[in-house]
Amino acid sequence: MQGVIREFLRYHGYEVGRWLLAVPESSWERGEGPQDFGVRVRMHPEVLMGEGDGVVPGQEAVARAEEALAWVLWVLFAYAEEIGLKAPPFW
């Protein structure tokens, strides 16, 4: 999963690193709920800044962006066949 996540982000001009964290996680690690996979995203507010606008997004905007990106990355696996990708064998 990590390789697909990194490649997707790289294609869109982002790199996983100090400013942007996007990693697969599973409920097995938490020991609760259904046994499934997800993606956890954390980003520095400056990742969302437009070029030259100087506006730093607030915590709420960053939280919404993290949630949205995590969902998009999860969809690459959960709905792979529906969006024209090969379904991963572990899914």
Which tens digits make up the pLDDT trace of 36-65? 788 999 999 988 887 777 788 999 999 999
Q: From CA 17, how far away is CA 4, in angstroms rounded?
A: 15
CA neighbours within 13 Å on the CB side: how many for 47?
24
Residue 25 domain flag: yes
State which residues form the domain around 32.
Answer: 2-83
pLDDT of residue 35: 64
Residue 78 domain flag: yes
Count up the domains in the chain and report the number.
1
Residue 90 domain flag: no
Residue 44 domain flag: yes
Q: From CA 33, how far away is CA 73, in angstroms rounded?
A: 21
Residue 18 domain flag: yes
| Mean pLDDT, the chain, integer | 87
Residue 11 domain flag: yes
Q: From CA 64, how far away is CA 4, in angstroms rounded?
A: 22
Residue 88 domain flag: no
pTM: 0.81
Residue 36 domain flag: yes
pLDDT of residue 11: 95
